[in-house]
Homo-oligomer: A and B are copies of this chain.
Amino acid sequence: MKVTLKDVAEAAGVSPMAVSVVLHGTGGKKVTVSEEKAEHIRRVAAQLRYRPNTLARSLRSKQTGAIAVVFQHFGRLSPERPYRTQILNGVAEALFPNEYTLSLCPRMMRDENGASIGDGRFDGILWCRPDFTEGSVDAIRGASVPIVLMHAPPGSILGVPTFCADNESAMRRVIAHLLPLGHERIAFVIDPISVSSVEGQARALALSAAADRAGLPEPEVLILAEDHSILSRYSKNDRPHSALICFSDELAGAVLASCEQLGVKVPGHISVIGFDSSWFCERTNPRLTSVNQPVERMAFEAASHLISLIQSQRDGNVPNTPVSSVYDCGLDVRDSTGPASQTQIPRF
């Protein structure tokens, strides 16, 4: 059967406490065991193939060594997909060296009332959903463990630290790059799934704002279908675009392919910009200019901050005022952007 700490204690002829101290270094405060006896206990434990029950330990000690990462979607169709990998990498890089485990939660743990994250099971929560429903806000507020928000602007929820990439800065950079090149008719290209996501909306809005500030007309939004035909457009004018800002690199790749097929030259006739600046940008023809979001760094820092919150809470320190970090985005200029075309091309 299962070997418990008590079994080891009996076999070694000592109290359970002694075993606990020797094997886990954690029994009360001033409990000590002589090195001689300790060695004996270790030997007995190994011989019996004793395996500590993490659950029981956590229940008593109130530390689980696990962090919950809550995504909005997780599956084949998720529009978050490009991020997720980067986020997980960043988070993992922060957690694993500190011996934390990373748990993916489909949503918050079940609870018809819509609230509550599996209580007691996690030392902290990394909330990666950009949506905030009534239920989830309650759950976040009521969380009994430290929590940080990603993809949320500062102050989204009072007293909760936030980490987010600054879409505004991204779009300002895009415009700052395009304006001197003479672009005036700009469109935002997005797929049908992402268009309804918070991130999609935010970027479209940010682009509008940036264009407006630069005195450019409201950018059109093009929704591309699976086969890359234009699904629908919201337009206020009918002059052809000279620059397309795409929601993702993957989408930009599709646009480049369409252009080639239609005989539209990039950047000769039209400029194309992607989002994420992934390795893929170096492999397209022409090489893809793309917005560079520091997602991985952001995730790393969010997770690191979460760890420090957990530790300072454990040590009884006063929680410092919540951090709110906004990460500037860069624009990696490659070969898919150039001066606005003077040639009148068929409207894309």
Contact = CB atoms under 8 A, between A and B. Distances in A.
Interface stretch (A98-106, A158-166, A203-211, A326-334): A98-106
A254 B282 CA distance: 9
Contacts of A102: 103-104
Contacts of A53: 59, 119-120
Q: How many of these chains are in the complex?
A: 2
Interface string A243-283: 00000001001101100000000000000000000011011
A92 interface: yes
A279 B250 contact: yes
A93 B119 contact: no
Nearest to A68: B101
19 contacts: A51-B116, A53-B59, A53-B120, A54-B118, A55-B64, A55-B121, A58-B121, A74-B92, A75-B92, A75-B96, A92-B106, A99-B106, A101-B104, A101-B109, A102-B103, A103-B103, A250-B279, A257-B282, A280-B280
Interface of A: 2, 46, 49, 51-56, 58-59, 64, 66, 74-76, 81, 84-85, 88-89, 92-93, 95-96, 99, 101-106, 109-110, 113, 116, 118-121, 142, 144, 250, 253-254, 256-257, 279-280, 282-285, 296
